Structure 1
Amino acid sequence: MSEPIEGRMTAAAEDEIVVFLIGMRINSFAALRSWVPVSRAMPPMIAELAREKGSGLLGFQLLLGFPRVLYVVQYWESKEKLLAYASAQGKEHRPAWAAFNRRLREGRGKVGLWHETYVVPAGSYESVYVNMPAFGLGAATGVVPVAGRGERAAERLGQRAPSAE
């Protein structure tokens, strides 16, 4: 596990970021044949993307929404690269998607899948990490001291803080 970085840090990202959330919901714990293969499909895709420099994947975070939901937060450099991977022949995603659809028809609602995609323009996101290892967007793009970007969230978002009049 990474060591905490003392002090206040922010993500080094400066350009547009694409945030892709994808996950599964176990609707029936007893239906192992429905949800176990779905849960095993994501690690090979992440490994493939991590191996391929230029894939567009900047970083990811695996999360658990206890007790039924597993999900991955992914940070991408562009929506074009995310969509290219999703439709690429010969990559891990296409067969995993086809297998999920077969399982969905056979499983009658035993497992669910969801995703959300957010295209976030440069200057429209901010982050702060206090005494944390690099995490989330900071792990994907690196971190820099907060002081270089502004002490307040409004400054880091490129906005003027309201006056205290």
Structure 2
Amino acid sequence: MGARAIEGRVTAASEDGVVVFLIGMRINSFAAVRSWWPVARAMGPMLAELARDEDSGLLGCKSLLGGVREVYLVQYWESKEKLLAYAAAPEGNHRPAWAAFNRRVREGKGRVGLWHETYVVLAGSHETIYMNMPAFGLAKATGVVPVGRRGDRAADRLRTS
């Protein structure tokens, strides 16, 4: 059935800064399974590794489909330093997966694509609202509070210093 909806209006508990990391894969040739299947499978072990490490900095993530050819993740991180540390860690799953992907890109002649975008959002520079939804997005990653606790209007919740 899925997560239970929270009645009414709520917002994410976090008033701290957050890093939003978007990463995705595009299948350019469905017939080239040897090019895209290993890329698709690489994310699971990385997410499991991050979930086991409470100090990794990953607050939460959500996988999404972008039509037939695209799969992507929205990830919320404590800081850019923790995100970059994970990406560069020689003992983690990311470095070998990245090296394998680069080999596949050279051999695969464009049959699979990969992209990512990183946004550093300063404290007070993000605003959320969820109505009759289960905990979702940033609220699922950081906790849910009634809207009134952070301000009834979007402008109230967007307090920039």
* TM-align CA RMSD: 0.8
Structure 2 counterpart of 1:140: 141
Q: For structure 1, list consecutive stretches of 5 or more residues without a partner in the other structure.
A: 160-165
Residue 66 of structure 1 deviates from its aligned partner by 1.0
Q: Give the Cα separation in 1 of the matches to 2:109 and 2:38.
A: 15
Residue 104 of structure 1 deviates from its aligned partner by 0.4
Could you tell me the TM-score, scaled by structure 2's length? 0.97
Within the alignment, does 1:119 sit opposite 2:112 as a pair? Answer: no
Q: Give the Cα separation in 2 of the matches to 1:51 and 1:98.
A: 23
Matches within 5 A, 1:85-124: 85-124=86-125
Structure 2 counterpart of 1:163: none
Q: Over residues 69-99 of structure 1, what are the superposed CA-to-partner deviations in whole Å (9 max), with x where a residue is unaligned?
A: 1000000000000000000011010010010
Q: Give the Cα separation in 1 of the matches to 2:70 and 2:152.
A: 35
Residue 158 of structure 1 deviates from its aligned partner by 2.0
Structure 1 counterpart of 2:46: 45
Residue 152 of structure 1 deviates from its aligned partner by 1.1
Within the alignment, does 1:73 sit opposite 2:65 as a pair? Answer: no
Structure 2 counterpart of 1:162: none
* Partner AA of 1:92 in structure 2: N
Matches within 5 A, 1:9-24: 9-24=10-25
SS in structure 2 opposite 1:55? coil
Structure 1 counterpart of 2:6: 5
SS in structure 1 opposite 2:23? strand
* Partner AA of 1:134 in structure 2: A
Q: Give the Cα separation in 1 of the matches to 2:44 and 2:8.
A: 33
The count of corresponding residues between Structure 1 and Structure 2 is: 159
Q: Give the Cα separation in 1 of the matches to 2:88 and 2:123.
A: 26
Q: Give the Cα separation in 1 of the matches to 2:139 and 2:48.
A: 20
Q: For structure 2, list consecutive stretches of 5 or more residues without a partner in the other structure.
A: none
Structure 2 counterpart of 1:131: 132
SS in structure 1 opposite 2:95? helix
SS in structure 2 opposite 1:71? strand
Identity %: 72
Q: Give the Cα separation in 2 of the matches to 1:88 and 1:14.
A: 29
* Partner AA of 1:39 in structure 2: A
Residue 154 of structure 1 deviates from its aligned partner by 0.8
Q: Give the Cα separation in 2 of the matches to 1:43 and 1:129.
A: 28
Within the alignment, does 1:55 sit opposite 2:56 as a pair? Answer: yes
Q: Over residues 18-49 of structure 1, what are the superposed CA-to-partner deviations in whole Å (9 max), with x where a residue is unaligned?
A: 00000001111111111111000001101100
Q: Give the Cα separation in 1 of the matches to 2:43 and 2:137.
A: 18
* Partner AA of 1:40 in structure 2: R
